[in-house]
Structures are given as structure tokens and as C-alpha cells.
Amino acid sequence: MGILTMVEDRPTPKSVYNWRVYVSAMTASFASCMIGYTTSFIGTTVSLESFQDEFGLSTMGASQRSLLQANVVSLFQAGAFFGSIFSYGTAYYFGRRITLWTFVTMFIIGVCITFAAIGGHLGPMYAGRFISGFGVGGCTMIVPIFISEIAPPAIRGRLVGTYELGWQIGGLVGFWINFGMTQSVAYGRNQWLIPFAVQLIPAGMVLIGSLLFLRETPRWLWTRGRREKGIANLCWYRQLQPEDTYIIEEIEMMDLQINDLPTGFIKPIHLALTNNAVLWRLFLGHMLFLLQNFSGINAINYYSPTIFRTMGVNNTETIDLMTGLFGVVKCIMTILWLTVLIDKLGRRTLFLAGGAFGAACMIIIGALIVTEPAAAEGTGLSGQGIATIFMIYLWTCIYITSWNGTPWVVNAEMFNQATRNVGQVGASMANWLWTFVIARITPNMVAGMGNNGFGMYFFFGAVSAFAVVFVWFLVPETKSVPLDQMDRLFEIRPVRSAQPKLMEELAAHNAEFAKLDRKDEEAPEQVEDR
């Protein structure tokens, strides 16, 4: 098997894997480029001398300055939390495509408001960051749903993974643009304003693409009673005719599921909160994002310069380059995860391997720090300091190829049509909630959990080890499972063998369907023989 071999749930025409479905996924994923950029550039931008002088931060005390900088960052996260909630209504009433367009427009409005924050007035900055965060929250909810609903099962993980790839590419640009500003743009307003303006580039691309190219998902059209339009869009995405066997089977599967769906705006919420099976999946999704955030990624994302300084790296330019290399490693590993690992090894395997090896790395990092206090005092980059830096980069490779994007893929897959919106809202809320929490508590963990925060790494290692146990017993494999069969997948016990058993059931069903189809073809000949 090649590294890009696809595992199909049934015989699939090659035309199903066509340019339309790939370009549609990539167009929607420009929203994640927007998200990745805006979450990465802000930390270094507010630290620019030009920004701090513009808003008077350079004349403030350290605690007041830190508070104002934290407000600029955290208001964005707060907006994203609420945006993920409100996106449920627009996704239900107006569809996936219009929801994406609406929240990208909100993001653009928020960015434009921040341009008015000049001459020391932070009010427009606060308002703009909250509104742009509101737009981002809606996008984090709708993009994975949109992609999962248009994707064939065999490449669904890969296509949903473009969302994560876009996030990392945007994040990479977000770091390097600030490095470029300090190197090539003279001190002044433009030095900090240009990084803010660049946010409009990916936002504009997804805005135009959603209007001119993207088509509504067939599944949403089915739920709104627009079956014929849904069939037309399904044929467009698959590049097949309505009479093709593959299309007929997909229509049959959607008809069977949609007929059992609750109708209305409130009923799916009521179903999600009263149905134990759906509540269980909401719990699993929430826990995956909690475990993801408490694995340590955001502590390193936000405080990598501080971490590198504790290891004896004192030159500011060297620290900037090492932090940039951190972003490059993340981007490269995301490409590996997307093109090879997510659909070849599966979601569950990545969770288990990433948790186990990630825990080992974090424990080693903590041990290296606690046994080498001199490195933390800026006395030079010792051998153990070099080893610690190597382990941080190794941990980054492990994390990015396992826990970084995989929770988004699983959460986009494991809910049925009735509760998919609710499930994705829950995922977005959990992500932004725990991102906010870990960003707030990390400074206290560094200060209060031993010399140079070595206890923090042991804590992250313990969480990763717990994640292995959690996934082993509770999270089934979703690779190659049709969305219409997720309810059945979560019924099968034990969890570790649920996916193989379901795939056997589907193979038997498809064989029976093919046998009946052959009988129908032979029937006219038998009549003529008589």
C-alpha cells in the first residue's frame, strides 16, 4: 500500500475524488489560515516598541502593561467562544455556505474597527478584537462541518485535515511577518498596523470563494426539504450522474437517516441534551479538546521565548529564529499528518501513539530542567539545555502529528445529521474555553510548580498519559466510517474493535445489494427464455 492509499467503505468511482471537492475544501480552509494568522501574530505585535509607544504601554508599570496586553488577546478568545454558540442558529437556518460567509464578514468588520485604534485609544482595539473573535468562533464551528459533509468517506479525514493545515500555515506567516516588520519596516505606526491589515487577505479569499465557487452541502439541503437541489449538488461534488450506482447508494443512505431526524431549531438541542448516546459523544468531544489543550501546546506556543531563555539562549534574534523554527516544524508535521497519517493510520492510533510518546517527552523535559538549574539562570547553553531544546522540538513533532488536528476530525465525524451542528458548537466552545484557561494559568504554573516550572512538564506528561487510557477504553476509530453509520459505530462494544466489526457489516450489506442488483439485471433475460 502507498502512503496515500485510500480505504473505501464501498467500490468508489475515481471521479468521486475530483478537483471540485478538493478545491471546495481548500477554499473553506482559507478561513483556518485566517484563524491561524490572527491567533499567532498578535502576541509579538503587541510587544513591538512601536505598538507599546502608540498606546502608552511603555510608560506603564509591568503589571498594568501585562493586563492590557492580556485584554487585547483574551477579548478575541471571549468573542470566539460566543461566536461558536451563535453559529448554531445561522448554520441551521441559512446553511453551511451562508454561515461561513456571514462569520467571515464579521471578522472583516472587526479587523477594520481595529484600524481606528490610533493615538492611544484602545477602545476600538478591544471592540475590534472581540468582533473579529466572534467571527473566528463561528468559522471554527462551520468549516469542519462543511468539509465533512461534502467529502467522500475515504478522504474525509484528509480533507477535514486541510482545516488544520490552513491553521498552521496562517500561524507560520503570523510569526514571520512580525520578524519581517522588525527587520525591514522603520519604527512607527505602519510597523504594527501592517500585521493587522494582513488579516484581511485570507478573509477576503474565503469571502469571495464562498460566494462564487462553493455550493451548499447536500446533507443540509436534505434536512430543509430541498431534496432535488441536494441531489444536484451531490452529483456536482461527485462528478457523477443521478443514475450512477454510487449516487443511488448515497441517496439511499441519506434518505434512511434524514427520515428519522428531528425537525426544527430546538429539537436537535433537546435531543442532544436528553439522548444518552449523544450526550456521551458531546462528553467525548469536550474531553478530547480538554486533553489537547492540557498536553502543553499552548504553554509552549505562548511562552516559547521564555522557555528558550531558561535554557541559556539569551540573544533576542536567536530566540526569534528558534521560535520561528518552532512554527516551521509545526507546519511541516501538519503536512505529514494530513497527507499520510490521518487516513492511513487512523484517528485512534494517532491519539494513542501521540499520547504515549508525548508523555515520555514531557517527563524527560521536566527531568532535564529539574536537574540543570544553572541553565535556567542564563549561564550559557549547556549540554542538558541543548537536550531539552531537542526534546521540545521532538515533542512538537509528536503532538502535531497526533493531537493537534485529530480532535477536530473526530468531532466533525462522530455526530449524526440531527446533532452535528450541536456537536461542532460544543467542540468550538470547548476549544476556546480551554485555550483561554491554559493561557491564563500557564504563568502561574511556571512560577509556582518548582524551579523554572519543571512541575508543569510533569503535569503535562501525566495528562498525556491519562489521554492514552481515556482513548483506549472510550474512543472508537472513525476512519472510513460513513457519516450515516456513526450511530451504529458507537453501539458496538468493545470500543477497540468497533470499527472493524462495522466495516464487516457494511461489506456484507454491499455484497447483498450487489447480488440483488445482478438478479434485477438477469430477470428480463429469464422472461424472454420462456
Four-way CATH pick for 15-214: 1.10.150.120, 3.30.390.30, 1.20.1250.20, 3.40.1280.10: 1.20.1250.20
Q: What does the pLDDT read at residue 373?
A: 55
Tracing cell 526534546 back to the chain, one arrives at 391
Contact partners, residue 467, CB within 8 Å, separation at least 6: 291, 295, 351, 355, 359, 403
Q: Which of these, 31, 26, 88, lies nearest to 213 by C-alpha position?
A: 26
Looking at the predicted structure, is the pLDDT value of residue 381 above 60?
Answer: yes
The region of weakest confidence among 89-103, 144-158, 313-327, 394-408 is: 313-327
The predicted structure's pLDDT at residue 459 = 94
List Cα–Cα distances, 359 to 295, 382, 460, in angstroms: 8, 24, 7
* pLDDT for residue 294: 93
pTM: 0.77
pLDDT score of 304: 66
- In DSSP notation, 368-400 reads HHHT-GGGGGTS---HHHHHHHHHHHHHHHHHH
Separation CA 349–CA 377 (nearest Å): 40
Domain positions in the chain are: 15-214, 267-524
| Residue 207 banded pLDDT, cuts 50, 70, 90 | very high
Q: Which CATH number fits domain 267-524: 1.20.1250.20, 2.60.40.10, 3.30.2130.30, 3.30.450.40?
A: 1.20.1250.20
> 143 and 32 in contact (C-beta within 8 Å)?
yes
Task: Flag whether pLDDT at 374 surpasses 50.
Answer: no
Q: How confident is residue 415, by pLDDT bands cut at 50, 70 and 90?
A: confident
pLDDT of residue 375: 45
Tell me what the pLDDT averaged over the chain comes to. Answer: 83
Q: Is the pLDDT score of 460 beyond 90?
A: yes
Residue 57 binned pLDDT confidence (cut-offs 50, 70, 90): confident
pLDDT at residue 256 tops 90: no
CA within 13 Å, CB half, 137: 31
Confidence of residue 348 (pLDDT cuts 50, 70, 90): very high
- Overall average pLDDT of the 387-395 stretch: 89
Burial (CB count <10 Å: 0-12, 13-18, 19+), residue 115: middle
Q: For 131-147, how does the pLDDT look when each residue is reduced to its tens digit (9 = 90+)?
A: 999 999 999 888 888 99
What tens digit of pLDDT does each residue of 497-508 get?
A: 888 898 888 888
Averaged over 112-125, what is the pLDDT?
Answer: 86
Over 70: is that where the pLDDT of 167 sits? yes
Residue 325's alpha-carbon distances to 171, 194, 330, 368, 529, in angstroms, are 12, 23, 9, 22, 75
- With bands split at pLDDT 50, 70 and 90, how would you rate the model's confidence at 528? very low
